[in-house]
Structure 1
Amino acid sequence: MPIEMGVWRLDGATPRRLPAGRLPTEAELETFLEQDSSLLGQQLLVIGRQVRTPQGKWIDLLAMDYEGNLHVLELKRDRTPREVVAQILDYGSWVSTLDRDSVLEIANTHFAATRADLEFEQAFTEIFEAPAPDELNEETTMTIVATSLDDSSERIVTYLREFGVPINAVFFSYLEDDERRYLARSWMASEASSSAPASSRRASKRAEWNGRDWFVTFGDGDHRDWEDARRYGFVSAGGGEWYSRTLRSLPVGARIFVHIPKHGYVGVGVTIGEAIAFSEAEVESDGQRVPLCKQPLAADYEHSDQKPSLDADLAEYVVPVRWETTVPKSEAYWVKGMFANQNSAGKLRQEFTLERLLSHFGIEDE
C-alpha cells in the first residue's frame, strides 16, 4: 500500500490538516538536498549533480557518506512510475564500478563548478570533520526520492531489499500553511529491515601506495617530546601494544612524514633502523653510540610506575631516523583535508596530503 503522509495543525482543540501541494520542481528539491543532506536523515556530501553516465543518462545527485560509500539519489516528482526502479538500478550498477580516481574526478569537477576554492579532501573534512578514507565506494546505496510510490514499485523495492540489494525510497510531502512552506519526510523501510549488502571491495577503489611513504603520529607530551626526537633523530610510541604495534611495523628505509595531533606535520625523514625498546635504544653523540635513555631528555618515555617498565606491552619503542627536514611544533603545517589518524604509523596513500607536504617542505620527489 502506498505510504501517505499527513501533518495537522492544532488550532485550539481542533486539528486542521495542512493541504498537500505539488513539489515546485525537481531542480528545487535537488537544491534543497544539496544544501542540506540532513533532510534525508543522514549527513552526506554531495559530489555530483546531474552526473552523466556512459549511456547518456543523468544521475540527479551523487553523494558520499562518512565511510566513503556512494549514494545514488534519483528524484521523481509526484507519483513515481515503476520504470524509475529499473533506472536507479541501472545507475547503481554503473556507480558501483567506479574506482577511486573516477570518484575523485566526478567530485572535483562538481566542486570546481560550485565551490572553486575547495577540492574533494577539503570538502569532505568540512562536512565530516575527519579526513577522507583511503578506500572509496566500497558499497553503493540507491535511494528513490518521491512524493509516493505506486503499488508495483513498492513491491519491487521491498522484494529487492529482501535479497540485500541496497535500495530504498524516501517520501517528501510538500505542505503549505498560509505563507509558510514545509517539507515532511518518511522512509519506506528502515535500514535495519534489509540484509547487509555484500561488499564490493576492489583494490582499485583504494588509493594506490607508492611503496615508500608512511605517516607517523607523534604524541608530543609528558612521555614524549618532539624536540628530543629532532635532536637525537628518532620517532617513538608506546604505552600499550595497540600504540606501538604499527610503529614497530615501519621498515628500514621508509620515508616518514611526522604529524603531531592538533598541530600538523613537523618533519620528514628516513628510517635507518628497526624499532627497539627505549631502554635499549642508542643514538649517535660526538661520533659515538650512546644510550638514548642516558641523554638529557625533556620527557621520561615511561608508561609505568616501574622505571624502566618491566612490561613489554607498556614500553616505549623507538625507531631511529635520519631527518631530511624538521620544524618546531609551533611551525607545524596543516591544511584542511589533509590525512591524519590515531595509528602510530601507517602507509601514506592520500595524494592530496603527500603533494602538499612535498611542496611545503621543499622536497623533490624522485
Structure 2
Amino acid sequence: MALSQLLYSMENKRILETASLTSEKELEDILCENIDLLDPNWLVIGRQVITKNGKVLDLLCIDRGYKLIVLELKKDLTPREVTAQVIEYASYVSEMEQDDIGRAYQNYIEKNPNISKNLNEAFRNKFGIELDESQIDMVPKMVIVAAKMDDGTEHIIRYLRQTYDVDINILFFQIFRYGNERIMSRVWFEENVEVDTKPEYSAKWNREYYVSFGEEDTRVWSDACKYGFISAGGGKWYTQTLKMLHAGDRIWVNIPHVGYVGVGIVQADAQQASEAGWEFDGVYTNMKDMDLKGSYFHHEDDLELAEFVVPIKWIQTFPVKNAVKEMGFFGNQNTVCRPVTEKWDFTVSRLKQLWQIKDSCYEI
C-alpha cells in the first residue's frame, strides 16, 4: 500500500498540483545540502561511494549515535530489486575500515569545498560532541528514498523489519508546485525500528557509573592508580559531569580506544586539582605534594579550562597493557554518565565476572 501525500493551500483553497525532479542527481543534491529533511540527527559523510565490488552507493551518513546509514535514492517508481541492492551495499559498508570511511569523506569534500575539511570537526559542528571512531556501528541502517514503490517491495521490507528486526526503511517523497516554487514533502513508510519494532530498553539504571579517563601527556593513568583519583579538564564539557559523582558511588573506568582499566568507590566530590587533597597512605596529602607524572595544575585561574579531580578508593586497577576491551562493551564520550542500556548491563556483568567483583557492590 503506497503512501499517498497531498498538500492543500488553505489561503487559496486548492490542492497543490504535483511536480517532478529533473533527475536523481537533483534529489542527491537536495539531500546533501539538506539532510535534515530526512533526519536532523544525520550527517552526510560520503556521496557516490564506490564499494569493494565496484558498485556505487548514493549517500553514506552517520548519526549522532555513531550508526552508519546507507541511502539508495530513486526519483520515480522503485523496482523490487532495490531491496537486494541496498542490502548488498550495506554488506560492503559493514566490511569497511575506519580509513575507508575517512577516504569516503575526503572524496566527498573534494566536490563540496564549503563543508568541514575534517570528519571529526564536521561531527562536532553538527552534534556538539566528539566523534569516537571506536564506537562507530559498522552494521548500517538501510534507507530507500523514493517517490513510489510497488506493493511487493513494501511487503518485503515490512516482513524484514517485523520478523527479523532488519534495520531497513523507506522514505517516500513527493514534489508539488506552488506558483513558481517546487515544494517537497516526505513521510516514512514506518516509524524507525528502534521506536516500534525494538522498544526502548526499560530496565532501571543499575546504579553503576561509567567513567571515561582520557589519558594523555597531562593526565596519566598510573598516577590515578597510585594516588586514587580520576580527573578531567580542558573545558566545561569534560568536567561538568564529574559533579554527578558523590561519596559511595561506584565507577567503572574506561580509557577510550584502549579498554576498561579499573573499578572503585568515590570518596568525595570533585575538586579543582590545584586545591585538591585527600587521604593517601593514611595521611591527608595535597595533590600538589604528590609525585605525579602528569600535569594537573594548568589554568589554575580559569575554572572553564582547569583540571578537576575526584578521589577514588580503588577496588581493582590494571595497567594500560592489561585493559579489557570486548565486543559489545559500552563506550561513551562523556567523562561520567549513568547509562540505562542493555550494553551497559552486559559490560558491568562481564567485568564483574572477569575481575571477580562481589555483587554486594560497595564491598571492598
Per the shorter chain, which TM-score range? 0.5 to 0.7
CA-CA distance at 1:19 after TM superposition:
0.9
Q: Which residue of structure 1 lines up, in the alignment, with residue 154 of structure 2?
A: 154
Q: Is it true that 1:97 corresponds to 2:95 in the alignment? A: yes
What code does the residue aligned with 2:121 have?
Q
Q: Which residue of structure 2 lines up, in the alignment, with residue 217 of structure 1?
A: 232
Distance 2:277 2:215 in 1: 30
Q: Which residue of structure 2 lines up, in the alignment, with residue 8 of structure 1?
A: 8
Q: Which residue of structure 2 lines up, in the alignment, with residue 65 of structure 1?
A: 63
Q: Which residue of structure 1 lines up, in the alignment, with residue 335 of structure 2?
A: 342
Q: Which residue of structure 2 lines up, in the alignment, with residue 362 of structure 1?
A: none
Matches within 5 A, 1:1-366: 1-11=1-11, 15-115=13-113, 118-133=117-132, 134-162=134-162, 163-191=164-192, 192-195=195-198, 216-218=231-233, 239-242=246-249, 246=253, 278-281=277-280, 291-292=284-285, 321-323=292-294, 327-328=298-299, 330=302, 341-343=334-336
CA-CA distance at 1:155 after TM superposition:
1.2
Deviations 1:326-353 (A, max 9, x none): 64255959xxxxx963239xxxxxxxxx
Q: CA 1:36–1:220 in structure 2 vs 1: closer, same or farther (change >3 Å)? A: closer
CA-CA distance at 1:52 after TM superposition:
0.6
Q: Percent identity?
A: 27
Distance 2:235 2:215 in 1: 28
Q: CA 1:178–1:319 in structure 2 vs 1: closer, same or farther (change >3 Å)? A: farther
Q: TM-score, normalised by structure 1?
A: 0.60
Alignment check: 8 A CA contact 2:235 2:305 kept: no
Q: Which residue of structure 1 lines up, in the alignment, with residue 362 of structure 2?
A: none
Give the SS at the match of 2:57.
strand
Distance 2:4 2:145 in 1: 14
CA-CA distance at 1:290 after TM superposition:
7.6
Q: Which residue of structure 2 lines up, in the alignment, with residue 203 of structure 1?
A: none
Alignment check: 8 A CA contact 1:99 1:137 kept: no
Kindly report the root-mean-square deviation, in angstroms, between the aligned alpha carbons of the 2 structures: 4.3
Larger CA Rg, structure 1 vs 2: 1
Q: CA 1:76–1:10 in structure 2 vs 1: closer, same or farther (change >3 Å)? A: same
Alignment check: 8 A CA contact 1:44 1:63 kept: yes
Q: CA 1:219–1:95 in structure 2 vs 1: closer, same or farther (change >3 Å)? A: closer
What code does the residue aligned with 1:246 have?
V
Distance 1:93 1:214 in 2: 40
> Structure 2 unaligned runs (5+)?
200-213, 222-230, 263-270, 307-331, 338-364
Alignment check: 8 A CA contact 2:27 2:75 kept: no
Distance 1:189 1:161 in 2: 9
Equivalenced residues, count: 264
Distance 2:254 2:84 in 1: 49
Q: CA 1:325–1:95 in structure 2 vs 1: closer, same or farther (change >3 Å)? A: same
Distance 1:33 1:130 in 2: 23
CA-CA distance at 1:136 after TM superposition:
0.7
Distance 1:323 1:211 in 2: 8
Q: TM-score, normalised by structure 2?
A: 0.61
CA-CA distance at 1:153 after TM superposition:
1.1
Alignment check: 8 A CA contact 2:145 2:171 kept: yes
> Structure 1 unaligned runs (5+)?
197-208, 225-235, 252-259, 268-276, 283-288, 298-317, 334-338, 345-366
